[in-house]
Amino acid sequence: MATIAAVIASTHHPFYYRASTAPPEERPPFADAWVTKILAFRETLTRARPDVLVMVGSDHFHQLWLDNMPQFLVGKAPFYDANWANEEREFGLPRMLLRGQEDLSAHILRGGLDEGFDLAFSNELRIDHSITCPIITLRPEADLPIVPIYTNIFAPPLPQPKRFVALGRAIRELVESWPSELRVAIIGTGHLSLELGGPRQFGPHGPDPEFDRKAVEWIANGDIERSLAEVSLDSLWTPGNATHGFMDFMLMMGVAGEGAKADHVDSLDLFHTMEAYFTWYPEGVPA
């Protein structure tokens, strides 16, 4: 059976690519500290020697639209083109092409459906920065095949937080039951407190530092029970109007498991939002 080489949860900040690649005279003041943290985070994936990446993210009204909106969707295609014109325009993100791992996509779809998750699928999916940002930060060679999984954290009505956790647990079991000798890293990105298009956007830090502090603690300690007790679809509006992206972190806590303490925890208090990075090694920390 496949090995889970690493479980990784991260924010996905579309400004990182430009901040880290700009010429020195255009680099923002926070770029160097950010790059240092990302390089340390990248090493946690490199050390795990993955062969395949399961990538959990959320389409930002790119391919998925309100006339046909899936709650959870698994890509099953040999390739995925990536990044969209408005991401190129606003964030300077490059066009990318990633290979797909169709066998694992098929296994997750079949097994997920059989386990009670009515997963949508896509055989032609152009992915966006929720998946390419972690490729850029964690595996900039973009050389490993992926299975993209999209969640709806964006267009209400949304699934309940407990369903994100349950799907994370199911993904973990499905990858572990994949008849393959390959090493799989499961990577998901979401948000801590975040406001977009509202009065609290682009402040000196995230809109709710107290929520961020608690959220980092929940994730780092695998405290699923506490996060489920304190978080609801209604409550997530309070820390910031885009904070439902935290449910993708909850999904990743489901992947890592109840009580699983992260082996790597880091954060960076940027203007606008807090960045946070977590890595678990279910098989033990690689030598």
Partner 1 sequence: MSKYLLNKFLYTIDRDADLVERYREDPAGTVTWWESELANRILNCPAGESSTWLALEPAEREALSTHDHVRLFELGAHPFLTLTLFIAMFERDNTEPLEYQKAFGQRLTHFTLPYPDIST
The residue length of the chain stands at 287
Q: How far is the CB of 67 from partner 1 (least distance, A)?
A: 6
Tell me which H or E stretch contains 3.
strand 3-11
| Site stretch for partner 1 (CB under 8 A), options 47-55, 105-113, 175-183, 193-201 | 193-201
Told to check if 118 binds partner 1 by CB under 8 A, we report no
Told to check if 86 binds partner 1 by CB under 8 A, we report yes
Q: For residues 27 and 99, which CB has a smaller minimum distance to partner 1 in the complex? A: 27
Q: How far is the CB of 1 from partner 1 (least distance, A)?
A: 39
Residue type, 199: P
- The site string for partner 1 over 17-56 (x = CB under 8 A, - otherwise) reads -----------x----------------------------
Count the site residues for partner 1 by CB under 8 A: 28
Which stretches of the chain are DSSP H helices?
16-21, 31-46, 85-91, 102-114, 129-138, 161-176, 209-221, 224-230, 246-256
From CA 105, how far away is CA 112, in angstroms rounded? 10
- The site string for partner 1 over 233-262 (x = CB under 8 A, - otherwise) reads ----xx--xx--------------------
Among 33, 61, 110, 232, binds partner 1 (CB under 8 A): 61
- Cβ-proximal residues to 211 (8 Å cutoff; 6+ apart), any chain: 192, 193, 238, 239, 243
From CA 248, how far away is CA 168, in angstroms rounded? 9
Q: For residues 73 and 147, which CB has a smaller minimum distance to partner 1 in the complex? A: 73
| Site stretch for partner 1 (CB under 8 A), options 34-42, 43-51, 64-72, 121-129 | 64-72
Residue given tokens 């998946």 in the structure block: 131
Please, what sign has the CA dihedral across residues 228, 233, 235, 238?
Answer: positive
Among 160, 180, 201, 221, binds partner 1 (CB under 8 A): 201
Tell me if 26 sits within 8 A of 158, measured CB to CB. no
Residues that bind partner 1 (CB under 8 A): 28, 60-61, 65-68, 85-86, 89-90, 154-157, 195-203, 237-238, 241-242
